[in-house]
C-alpha cells in the first residue's frame, strides 16, 4: 500500500463516454483525465452538455445501461480500478465510499417513500447495524442538515426545495463517504437558499474530511469552495489548475471568455460579453480543437486533425491550447 501513498487519491485517465440515440452517437466525454488528492475539492466547470455529470456518473458507474457506454478509460480510487470491479463490488462502494448529491432535489427523492426511510435505506445497506441503530443514525443525519427529526415520517412532497436538497445531502453523507460528487447542488434552488446549502455542504465536507468533486457552472461557487478547478468544454478538460491560477491567470481562450461573461459589479459595462457562437454539436464535433469555431485566437493549426497537445507550466497549470502564449497578451 506504500505506493498508494504517493499516487493520487482519485485518478481518471482518458475517459471516453458515448450516448447512442436514433443511429447517432453523442460523444459526451472525450478523453478526460484528472487527479485529485484526499480531502481536496475539485471544481468541474463547464457549460450544459460539457459532460460534467457524465464524468460523475461514470465514477459511480450509474450511467444508464441502455444507450450509453464507457468506451475506454480508467478510474482509480485509492488504487482500486473502479471500472474493472464486479457490479456487486461496485454496489458496495456506491453510497458508502462514494456518494452523490444530485442537481434537482425536486426529482431526486422517491415520492412514495418517507424521507427517513430513504436515509435509513442507505445506512442499512452499508452498515452492520440493527434497525434501531440505523434509524437513530438517519435521525442524527436529519438533525445534522438542520431538519428536525420529527419529520422522519414525512414524504418528500411535504418539504420545500431547499429542505429536499438537505435530505439529499443527509442521504449522501450518511455513510461518511470518502468521495462526494456534488452535481450542481445549488442550481435548482432559490438564490437565497443556494448560499445556505453550499455552506452546509462545505462544512460537512470538512467535518467528514471527504474529498469532493463539485460540478457547477457558477464561477462564484467555485471561488468560494474549490481548491482546484478543471474547465471542461465539449467533453474535454481544456484547462486545469489551482484556484489562483485559474482565476488570476486563465490561459485558455474559453476560460477567459467565461470570466468575460460575468458581469462586473464595479465596472460600468452596459453589455455583458458573451462567448460568440454555440457549444459544438456533440454528434459532430469540430476537427482539431473543439473550441476553434468560437475562438478569437484561432489559427490554422487549431483546425488540424488530432488532439490538442497538453501544456504544463512550471507550477502545474495545465492548458490545452496551441496559442496559449499569445492569449491575453495583446490587451496588456
Partner 1 sequence: MGRYILKRILWMIPIILGVTVLVFTMMTICPGDPATIILGSLATEESLAAKRVELGLDQPYLTRLVKYLSDVYLHFNLGSSWISKISIVSELKVRLPRTLVLSLFTTALSFGLGIPFGISAAKNQGKWQDSLCMVIAMIGSSMPNFWLAMMLVLLFAVKLKWLPALGIGAGLAGLKYYILPAFSNFATGMASAARQTRSSMLDVIRSDYITTARAKGVPEKSVINKHALKNALIPIVTLMGTAFGNMLGGALIIETIFSIPGMGTYVIGAVGNRDYPVVQAGTIFLAIVFSIFMLLVDIVYAMIDPRIKALYTAGSKKKVKKEAKA
99 belongs to the binding site for partner 1 (CB under 8 A): yes
Stretch that binds partner 1, among 34-42, 110-118, 240-248, 258-266 (CB under 8 A): 110-118
**Given 64, 274, 306, 309, the residue binding partner 1 (CB under 8 A):** 64
Compute the distance between CA of residue 55 and CA of residue 57 in angstroms, rounded to an integer. Answer: 5
| N- to C-terminal Cα separation, the chain | 50
95 belongs to the binding site for partner 1 (CB under 8 A): yes
**Given 13, 71, 91, 149, the residue binding partner 1 (CB under 8 A):** 91
* Block residue for cell numbers 478523453: 31
**Given 26, 36, 55, 93, the residue binding partner 1 (CB under 8 A):** 93
Stretch that binds partner 1, among 30-38, 89-97, 251-259, 317-325 (CB under 8 A): 89-97
- By beta-carbon proximity to partner 1, the closer residue of 91 and 217 is 91
Sign of the alpha-carbon dihedral angle for 269, 271, 277, 282: positive
Pairing type for strands 228-233 and 41-45 reads: parallel
Q: Which of residues 245-264 bind partner 1 (CB under 8 A)?
A: none
- Cell triple for residue 301? 493549426
104 belongs to the binding site for partner 1 (CB under 8 A): yes
- By beta-carbon proximity to partner 1, the closer residue of 69 and 242 is 69
129 belongs to the binding site for partner 1 (CB under 8 A): no
Q: Which residues contact 49 (CB under 8 A, 6 or more apart)?
A: 28, 279, 282
- By beta-carbon proximity to partner 1, the closer residue of 3 and 23 is 23
Alpha helices by DSSP H, the chain: 2-6, 52-60, 87-93, 105-108, 115-126, 131-144, 161-173, 191-208, 219-225, 243-248, 253-260
Residue 231: which of 63, 263, 243 has the closest Cα? 243
121 belongs to the binding site for partner 1 (CB under 8 A): yes
125 belongs to the binding site for partner 1 (CB under 8 A): yes
Angle of CA points 238, 244, 246, to nearest 5°: 20
Total residues belonging to the chain: 332
- By beta-carbon proximity to partner 1, the closer residue of 175 and 318 is 175
Stretch that binds partner 1, among 111-119, 199-207, 234-242, 261-269 (CB under 8 A): 111-119
- Cell triple for residue 314? 512550471
Number of H helices, E strands in the chain: 11, 12
Smallest gap from residue 167 Cβ to partner 1 (A): 11
Smallest gap from residue 91 Cβ to partner 1 (A): 5
Residue 205 CA: distances (Å) to CA of 125, 172, 210, 218, 225: 22, 11, 5, 19, 10
Q: Which residues pair with residue 80 across a beta bridge?
A: 77
Compute the distance between CA of residue 61 and CA of residue 137 in angstroms, rounded to an integer. Answer: 26
- By beta-carbon proximity to partner 1, the closer residue of 12 and 59 is 59
Q: How many of the chain's residues bind partner 1 (CB under 8 A)?
A: 33
Compute the distance between CA of residue 95 and CA of residue 229 in angstroms, rounded to an integer. Answer: 24
- By beta-carbon proximity to partner 1, the closer residue of 147 and 171 is 171
Stretch that binds partner 1, among 64-72, 205-213, 222-230, 260-268 (CB under 8 A): 64-72
- By beta-carbon proximity to partner 1, the closer residue of 33 and 127 is 127
Q: Which of residues 155-184 bind partner 1 (CB under 8 A)?
A: 155, 157-158, 168, 171
Burial of 66 per CB tally in 10 Å (0-12, 13-18, 19+): exposed
- By beta-carbon proximity to partner 1, the closer residue of 174 and 256 is 174
Contacting positions for partner 1 (CB under 8 A): 57, 60, 62, 64, 66-67, 87, 91-96, 99-100, 102, 104, 107-113, 121-122, 125-126, 155, 157-158, 168, 171
Amino acid at each position: 500500500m506504500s505506493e498508494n501513498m504517493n499516487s493520487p487519491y482519485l485518478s481518471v485517465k482518458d475517459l471516453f463516454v458515448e450516448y447512442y440515440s436514433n443511429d447517432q452517437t453523442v460523444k459526451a466525454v472525450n478523453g478526460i483525465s484528472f487527479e485529485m488528492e484526499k480531502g481536496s475539492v475539485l471544481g468541474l466547470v463547464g457549460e450544459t452538455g460539457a459532460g460534467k455529470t457524465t464524468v460523475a456518473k461514470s465514477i459511480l458507474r450509474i450511467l444508464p445501461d441502455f444507450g450509453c457506454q464507457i468506451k475506454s478509460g480508467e478510474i482509480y480510487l485509492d488504487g482500486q480500478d473502479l471500472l474493472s470491479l464486479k457490479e456487486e463490488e461496485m454496489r458496495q462502494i456506491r453510497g458508502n465510499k462514494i456518494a452523490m448529491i444530485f442537481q434537482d432535489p425536486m426529482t431526486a427523492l422517491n415520492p412514495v417513500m418517507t424521507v427517513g426511510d430513504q436515509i435509513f435505506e442507505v445506512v442499512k445497506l452499508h452498515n452492520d447495524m440493527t434497525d434501531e441503530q440505523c434509524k437513530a443514525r438517519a435521525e442524527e443525519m436529519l438533525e445534522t442538515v438542520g431538519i428536525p427529526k420529527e419529520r422522519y415520517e414525512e414524504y418528500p412532497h411535504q418539504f420545500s426545495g431547499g429542505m429536499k436538497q438537505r435530505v439529499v445531502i443527509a442521504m449522501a453523507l450518511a455513510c461518511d463517504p470518502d468521495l462526494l460528487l456534488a452535481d450542481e447542488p445549488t442550481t435548482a434552488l432559490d438564490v437565497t437558499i443556494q448560499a445556505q446549502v453550499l455552506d452546509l455542504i462545505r462544512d460537512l465536507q470538512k467535518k467528514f474530511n471527504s474529498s469532493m468533486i463539485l460540478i457547477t457552472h457558477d464561477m462564484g461557487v467555485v471561488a468560494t469552495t474549490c481548491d482546484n478547478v478543471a474547465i471542461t468544454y465539449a467533453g474535454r478538460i481544456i484547462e486545469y489548475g489551482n484556484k489562483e491560477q485559474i482565476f488570476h491567470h486563465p490561459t485558455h481562450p474559453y476560460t477567459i471568455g467565461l470570466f468575460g461573461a460575468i458581469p462586473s459589479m464595479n465596472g460600468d459595462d452596459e453589455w455583458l460579453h458573451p462567448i460568440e457562437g454555440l457549444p459544438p454539436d456533440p454528434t459532430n464535433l469540430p476537427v482539431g480543437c473543439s473550441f476553434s469555431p468560437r475562438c478569437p485566437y484561432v489559427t490554422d493549426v487549431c483546425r488540424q486533425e488530432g488532439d490538442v497537445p497538453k501544456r504544463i507550466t512550471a507550477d502545474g497549470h495545465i492548458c490545452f491550447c496551441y496559442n496559449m502564449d499569445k492569449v491575453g497578451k495583446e490587451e496588456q
